[in-house]
Amino acid sequence: MRGHIAWRHRADGGDDGLDGDDGGDDGDDDDNPLMRTARASDNGSVMGISVAAWMGTTILRGMFESFEDESKNGSRFIETLIQRIRESLAKALVEFYPFAGRLVMGIDGRMAVRCTGEGVPFVEATSEDDIAALGDISTINPAMLRKLVKHSDGAPTILEVPLLSVQVTTFKCGGIVIGIVMNHVLVDGKALTDFIACWNDLARAKPLSVLPFLDRSVLRPRQPPHVDLPHHEYAPRDQLPGLVVDPQTKPLVYRSFCFKPHALIQLKKAARITTQNGSSVVPTTFEVISALAWISRTKALGIGPHETTKLLTAVDGRPKFEPPLPSGYFGNGIAWSCAECSAGELTHNPFSVAVQTVREALASVTESYIRSAIDHIELNRVLVDCQGNACCISKWSRLPFYKMDFGFGRPFQVAPATVPNNVILVASQSRESNDLVVSLGLTRDAMDVFSKLIQHELTLKSKF
């Protein structure tokens, strides 16, 4: 952005990373809605992280953008909006109280949430620019977009990172961005959107459309635990980085690639799968994007033909159970499918073979698979293998971000402020577009190769 952003900090929730004297509330804590919320849930309890939560310790950042009518641009209107967002957040935290807690490490080496109500950092910021200065936020630009979220760069370990933080940035034109950071150790994307839906309902004085299901025991290990299936989506913890929040030692270049509907149709035609009975199956959009990104990344990294490469996909496990888990399950309800083969097999076989590999891996995620994975984590010190030759892919395009409304309209765009290393993110381009955007970070040399490969495919498919 051309101008600068000025932050007006609110010491909501008592977060040490906020300066309560810099525009904060100097009154008694009882006048602070978030502090009242914290006390309402201050029961000193500890909520155990379900074993599925070990699948990720990545902080994902989301952002909402909404344009306002010029008639509503008065400062009083903006102040009223921010107050509504802030007070409804406080009320939502009564139901979703684990967000106001903090991570702790138990003597058994497992993380848990201590629900003592420390609160959620809340930051108000203003920009001298119009919101149009942001441009298309679906094109990932961490250097710019990180200004729109409350980050915790100084945290020495993941335990010091708040489980949720919120920043509301207002622009000269009256536009608003709500930047949300959630700690992926606690919840997945589905649980986050459930929370935002509840927050929206409260902001609009509507009955709650969803309540959190907080009983983590539904995903507890079996007694005794027994592993029925191979789980190559995990690796021993001593082979992976620890809990330290380690800044990237090698600079990454972040880029986004736009897939238009016509190109996706052509990709799916090129990847028709022949079943055992001879019939033809058209793969899904996500399957072809996943396969193309996996192939292109493998080539870009120069992985040897005899080395194994993996693509792990985040799959919502809630509907995989019989009966399904409660829709409002609050936690990490995701399981990871694992497509794997040698780099040579992946890159030298027809595109349809890679698509079929991805498809079969996704189909393997059943209740039995998830139960076996839970027991595998219980019996072995493992974490998701998303390093080196392996990468993870996650889909935001099906999450109901564009249905959210705090009372001043649905978001125009929703986008990540950044993408973690070795993660590929698929998201919708905007509320008014059917385009999908694939974002990731690679070293510069690898990104140059990846870009050429993707652009070649998109150019080729656009000719048909």
**Which amino acids are annotated catalytic?**
184, 405
Phi then psi for 303, rounded to 5 degrees?
-65, 135
Conformational region of residue 335, where left means phi above 0, alpha means psi within -120 to 50, and beta covers everything else:
beta
Q: Are 95 and 195 in contact (CB under 8 A)?
A: no
112 close to 103: Cβ distance less than 8 angstroms: yes
Q: DSSP for 104-130?
A: EE-TTS-EEEEES-----EEEEEESS-
Pairing of strands 164-170, 122-127: parallel
Give yes or no for a contact between 308 and 340, defined as CB atoms under 8 angstroms apart.
yes
- Calpha distance 195→179 (Å, rounded): 14
Residues 6+ away with beta carbon under 8 Å from 306: 342, 343, 344
Tell which residue, 407, 440, 430, has the closest CA to residue 63: 430
Q: Token pair of 138, please?
A: 């679906």
Q: Token match 């000025």: residue?
A: 6
Alpha carbons 388 and 172: distance in angstroms, whole number: 44
Q: What backbone phi and psi angles, to 5 degrees, belong to 141?
A: -150, 80
DSSP, residue by residue, 283-312: PPHHHHHHHHHHHHHHHHTT--TTSEEEEE
Contact assessment for residue 98 and residue 330, using Cβ atoms and an 8 Å cutoff: yes
User: Among 102, 45, 92, which Cα is nearest to 404's?
Assistant: 92
| Of 438, 420, 413, residue with least CA distance to 179 | 413
* Separation between Cα atoms, residue 28 and residue 87, nearest integer Å: 16
Neighbours of 308 (CB within 10 A): 16
Residue with tokens 């109901």: 400
Helix (H) or strand (E) holding 372: helix 367-379
According to DSSP, the residues that pair with 254 across neighbouring strands are 441
